[in-house]
Structure 1
Amino acid sequence: MNKVRIAVPAILTLSVINLCFVIFSNLVEMRALTDYSPMVMTLFNVSLITLGLLSVWQRFTGIGGHAMRGKMLLLLAVEYFVVYAADITNIFPHSAEPMGQTLFMLDVFGAALAVLLFVSAGWYMKAVSVPESV
């Protein structure tokens, strides 16, 4: 259980940091996303920021009850994976310009972190369902 209690917050923290780099990756490289209205791009960025804020909230406070916290962690892991997979496969946001190497590496790293978060959240749920011996 102790390894899980260390792994989950560490992976969640790395996921938030990586997401921040992805959100602000326009400082590193620019992709022309002119096919989307400013409202769509604003909603997309707000959803990414919300994902990050929920992750930080989950990291430091969580939800009451271990089972609910595990389910929330699984949901966050799936959301992270969907965001990164959609970007890697150029589904959304779709850009005429190819993705830069830096953003691609951040997306691959984020997808790997999402898988690790999913697995560690599963271990967390399994560990808290079994009472610890005293």
Structure 2
Amino acid sequence: MNKARSAVLATLTLSVLNLCFMILSVLTKTRVFPDYPPMVITLFTVFLITLGVLSIWQLFAGLDGQTMRGKILLLLAVEYFVVYVVDIANIFPRSVAPMEQTLFIMEIFGAVLAVLLFVSASVYIKSEPIKS
């Protein structure tokens, strides 16, 4: 296994764990979003779950020795980055309760992981022949 692939697998694993911990932890349950209709929050939650499931699928494709899809890896990295940055910048979703410091740190960590995933996926795409 080459170094670029190992870096992709490591950053993607950490990204999935970080996202899952944030979704399932008590940290996010203190945030209330009364300005959004339930459908908006439901769709956002479905998006986050889909992001996690696609990431896990990419992990298993990489761990099973199959070729990971380069464009999907780049898209996942961008999606992770956007999700964290818009929340850190208080663009979406806006909560009545302020973000706790632990959640803020986890989102910064997630954004850094997203950048590392993008860089490692870019190197992986250049080093491995990707089957579209």
Query: What is the alpha-carbon root mean square deviation over aligned residues?
Result: 1.7
1:2-49 CA-to-partner distances (Å, cap 9, x unmatched) read: 111211111101000000122124x13501211111111111111000
Gapped regions of structure 2 (runs ≥ 5) = none
Aligned residue in 2 for 1:21? 21
Equivalent residue of 2:59, what SS?
helix
Structure 1 residue 112: deviation in Å?
0.2
Equivalent residue of 2:97, what SS?
coil
What letter is aligned with 1:7? A
Aligned residue in 2 for 1:132? none
Alpha-carbon distance in structure 1 between the residues aligned to 2:61 and 2:39: 32
Structure 1 residue 73: deviation in Å?
0.6
Alpha-carbon distance in structure 1 between the residues aligned to 2:79 and 2:114: 8
* 2:71 matches 1:79: no
Structure 1 residue 96: deviation in Å?
2.9
TM-score by length of 2: 0.87
Given that residues 80 and 111 in structure 2 are in contact (C-alpha distance below 8 angstroms), is that contact kept between their aligned partners in structure 1?
Answer: yes
Alpha-carbon distance in structure 2 between the residues aligned to 1:81 and 1:5: 20
Given that residues 27 and 100 in structure 2 are in contact (C-alpha distance below 8 angstroms), is that contact kept between their aligned partners in structure 1?
Answer: no
Alpha-carbon distance in structure 2 between the residues aligned to 1:14 and 1:103: 15
Alpha-carbon distance in structure 2 between the residues aligned to 1:93 and 1:52: 18
Alpha-carbon distance in structure 2 between the residues aligned to 1:119 and 1:14: 15
Gapped regions of structure 1 (runs ≥ 5) = 130-134
Structure of larger gyration radius:
1
Structure 1 stretches of at least 4 aligned residues deviating more than 6 Å after TM superposition: none
1:73-116 CA-to-partner distances (Å, cap 9, x unmatched) read: 11100000000001100111012322110110110000000000
What letter is aligned with 1:88? I
